[in-house]
Chains A and B, each alone.
Chain A
Amino acid sequence: MKKYFNHIFKRTKQKNRTKNKEVYSASPSGFQNFLLEIGELSRFTADFFRETFSYPYEIKEFLKQSSRMGLSTLPLISITAFIMGLVLTLQSRPVLVDFGAESWLPGMISVSIVREIGPVITALICSGKIASGIGAELGSMRVTEQIDAMEVSGTNPVKYLVVTRVLATTFMVPILVFYSDAISFYGSYVAVNMHGFISIKLFIAQAFETLHYFDIIPATIKTFFFGFAIGIIGCYKGYYSNNGTEGVGRAANSAVVISSLVIFIIDLIAVQLSEMIHIFSI
């Protein structure tokens, strides 16, 4: 009898082992993949912070990446920001004219640009230009074993490639947003002058009259987060790219898609938080 139960027990154990094996060897579902991705990204972000504050500091590479990213996106941001300011003014003007509030135009445009449109549009442009560039660059370095070569030569690739790029995007995106806001103001000034004359001095005075610290500070803080998200997602996707050239393309593409989505999520959270802070401060 004892022998029989032992036999049954063994068989059940074996069956369960096989079952478990099947469960573990089965490819993860979409949701499991999503959770795995979040976990990997969190670990990657932790590595970034650990390497950021440890010596030696890659200042030369950081400056090189910052200037490269800034200069490469400058023409695109200039054109987009000018058109953005111009179109926004032209579209808003008829409504304000109907209400006899045309003089509010510079103030209204400045609030829209500084608080929302400037940061978000600039971050999206940077996402398209910079995140895809980082994803493709690190991805091709990964598949051609350049990252491995760096590692075996005694260089920490996270410190040299990732930290410098993420810090560069974190500090360059806010600067680019300020620049983009200024160009948008100029576009708006041109649009206002299409239907009449207003001096640049008066335009600036009216634009800044409606702006408060409460408009500028939260909008500036969120641009640092936009820059960080662009850098870390671009680097993560490129650093862990695989499957040859196809993987490089996929890394660049998903870097843009995910960082754009994250920009909107950060924007939503930032708006909610700033509203809450505003309510409590009144």
Chain B
Amino acid sequence: MEQKHNISDNSNEYVIEIKHLQKSFNGRMILSDINLKVKKSENVVVLGKSGIGKSVLIKCIVGLIHPDKGSVKVFGKEVSRMNRKELDEIRTRVGFIFQGNALYDSMSVRENLEFPLRRNKIISDKKEIDKLVYEVLESVGLKDTVDKMPAELSGGMKKRIGLARTLILKPEIILYDEPTTGLDPLTSREISKLINKIQNIYQASSIIITHDLECAKRTSNRVLILQDGVFYAEGTFDELKKNDDSFVQSFFVTV
């Protein structure tokens, strides 16, 4: 199985900086002290049990959830201090792949892909939009689905279209919320390869939330384990696999 190498430590350009992040829901502390720095074109995988707050963490990065305390900086700017316009601008540079794909049911694949372009008035020329739509569809290998509705697509296809919709804005950061959940091993492998391909082509930094160890192994430059609201362990996939700690080991028993 292919494995990734570390991003050079010389790169000091952090695209995401999180310090002492805290978030609780209904009196229950989900994230108690999260500290994280993501370098340019680095893939960071976050592992952790279900309901531990992994999705909450990446939703704080795009301002979908507001943290109780702490600082979340994206491209050096504090997310909580941004006004609507600034937040929308940052959001066009940060892609988010939802666990359930979140494709717009009432729109065809073409309309789904055109939506962020037209809305953000990045390109208004019809020919140029068409060219971009076909370009991203080709990059996810689904050129012939352009006029299909989301309901006509399989789970794997929906994931790819969700990815294509994010890629069309050429984001510099991509946040993946369980990109391989619910997919068969072959399709999961293809999605993992696609994540690496995107990292290579677009030089995008990514945070990948996953339970899929194969996906983590294939895509990660660095792996973090979230437990009890803090990052319990950090390292490369191999370092963590060799770690003596019984809790860390419990994640790797199947590999």
* A173–chain B nearest beta-carbon distance, Å: 22
Interface set of B (CB-CB < 8 Å, partner A): 27, 59, 62, 64, 84, 88-89, 91-92, 94-96, 98-100, 102-105, 115-116, 119-120, 165, 169
* A189–chain B nearest beta-carbon distance, Å: 41
Offer 27 A-B interface pairs, CB within 8 angstroms, sorted by A. Answer: A141-B104, A141-B105, A145-B99, A145-B102, A146-B103, A146-B105, A148-B64, A148-B96, A148-B98, A148-B102, A149-B96, A150-B104, A151-B64, A151-B91, A152-B62, A152-B95, A152-B96, A153-B91, A153-B92, A153-B116, A153-B169, A154-B89, A154-B92, A154-B116, A155-B88, A155-B115, A160-B119
- Contact flags A150-191 to B (C-beta < 8 A → 1, else 0): 111111100010000000000000000000000000000000
Alpha-carbon separation in the docked complex, A146 to B111 (Å): 14
For A151, what are the chain B residues with a Cβ–Cβ distance below 8 Å?
A: 64, 91
The answer to whether B104 touches A154, judged by C-beta atoms less than 8 angstroms apart, is no
Alpha-carbon separation in the docked complex, A154 to B120 (Å): 7
For B64, what are the chain A residues with a Cβ–Cβ distance below 8 Å?
A: 148, 151-152
Alpha-carbon separation in the docked complex, A27 to B164 (Å): 43
* A56–chain B nearest beta-carbon distance, Å: 8
Alpha-carbon separation in the docked complex, A202 to B91 (Å): 65
Known: A25-B27, A145-B98, A148-B64. A153 touches B119 (CB 8 A): yes
Alpha-carbon separation in the docked complex, A140 to B150 (Å): 15
**Across the two chains, which residue of chain B brings its CB closest to A24?**
B27
Alpha-carbon separation in the docked complex, A145 to B92 (Å): 17
The answer to whether A156 touches B84, judged by C-beta atoms less than 8 angstroms apart, is yes
Any B CB within 8 A of the CB of A144: yes
For B95, what are the chain A residues with a Cβ–Cβ distance below 8 Å?
A: 152
**Across the two chains, which residue of chain B brings its CB closest to A137?**
B106
For B62, what are the chain A residues with a Cβ–Cβ distance below 8 Å?
A: 152
* B49–chain A nearest beta-carbon distance, Å: 21
The answer to whether A145 touches B100, judged by C-beta atoms less than 8 angstroms apart, is yes
Interface centre among A145, A150, A151, A153 (most CB of B within 10 A): A153
Alpha-carbon separation in the docked complex, A141 to B102 (Å): 8
Alpha-carbon separation in the docked complex, A160 to B95 (Å): 20
Alpha-carbon separation in the docked complex, A151 to B84 (Å): 11
Alpha-carbon separation in the docked complex, A154 to B92 (Å): 6
Interface residue from B89, B91, B100, B165 paired with A144 (Cβ < 8 Å): B100
The answer to whether A144 touches B119, judged by C-beta atoms less than 8 angstroms apart, is no
* B168–chain A nearest beta-carbon distance, Å: 9
The answer to whether A155 touches B100, judged by C-beta atoms less than 8 angstroms apart, is no
Interface centre among A144, A151, A154 (most CB of B within 10 A): A154
* B222–chain A nearest beta-carbon distance, Å: 24
Alpha-carbon separation in the docked complex, A141 to B100 (Å): 11
For B115, what are the chain A residues with a Cβ–Cβ distance below 8 Å?
A: 153, 155
Given A141-B105, A152-B94, A154-B89, 7 additional A-B pairs, CB 8 A: A145-B99, A146-B105, A149-B96, A149-B104, A152-B64, A153-B91, A153-B116
Interface centre among B92, B102, B104 (most CB of A within 10 A): B102
Alpha-carbon separation in the docked complex, A145 to B88 (Å): 17
Alpha-carbon separation in the docked complex, A153 to B63 (Å): 12
- Contact flags A117-149 to B (C-beta < 8 A → 1, else 0): 000000000000000000000001100111011
**Across the two chains, which residue of chain A brings its CB closest to B116?**
A153
* B205–chain A nearest beta-carbon distance, Å: 16
For B104, what are the chain A residues with a Cβ–Cβ distance below 8 Å?
A: 141, 146, 149-150
The answer to whether B119 touches A149, judged by C-beta atoms less than 8 angstroms apart, is no
**Across the two chains, which residue of chain A brings its CB closest to B90?**
A154
